[in-house]
Amino acid sequence: MNVKQQLPIYIIFAVVSLLCLVIPGQLNDWGINANVLLIGNIILLAATLISFVFYRRSLGNDHAPFFMRMIYSAMFTKMLICIFSAFIYIVAYKKNVSKGAIFACMFLYFVYTFVELSMVMKLSKQKKNA
């Protein structure tokens, strides 16, 4: 997959990062630590790009069980990266945890996953029609 195919993911990353850098005071007023959200956004981008490796492998194979295994592996890997990151943050900061930032990162996880899977389905249809 080239950069053009992944453009929606990069746009989401850029918009969220800009929000964290431009209006951190407003985010803090909403109970969201901008630094935590920015780091969570970076982790989500990395996890999404890693899961694209699995998706790329799945699109190159015609066997349905292999396709499903790669899709589930990608989703599971992404989820584990996010859970592990959240666990480290919660253990490190204990009572100073920004719950708003954690919920914002959970929302971003769903946004990234929805966009990612819609892109994979679109690529899958293009492959079938080619």
SS3 label, residue 32: coil
For residue 130, what pLDDT is reported?
53
- Tell me how far apart the terminal alpha carbons of the chain are, to the nearest angstrom: 16
The percent of residues above 90 in pLDDT, for the chain, comes to 62
pLDDT tens-digit readout, 51-61: 988 888 888 77
Query: What's the one-letter identity of residue 3?
Result: V
Over residues 66-87, mean pLDDT:
91
The C-alpha atoms of residue 18 and residue 98 are separated, in whole angstroms, by 19
pLDDT tens-digit readout, 98-116: 999 999 999 999 999 999 8
Question: How many CA atoms does the CB half-sphere of 106 hold within 13 Å?
Answer: 9
| The model scores a pTM over 0.85 | yes
For residue 23, what pLDDT is reported?
95
Question: How many CA atoms does the CB half-sphere of 78 hold within 13 Å?
Answer: 29
pLDDT category at 15 given cuts 50, 70, 90 is very high
Query: What's the one-letter identity of residue 64?
Result: A
Residue 5 phi/psi, 5-degree rounding, is: -70, -30
| Residues 71 and 58 sit within 8 Å (Cβ to Cβ) | yes
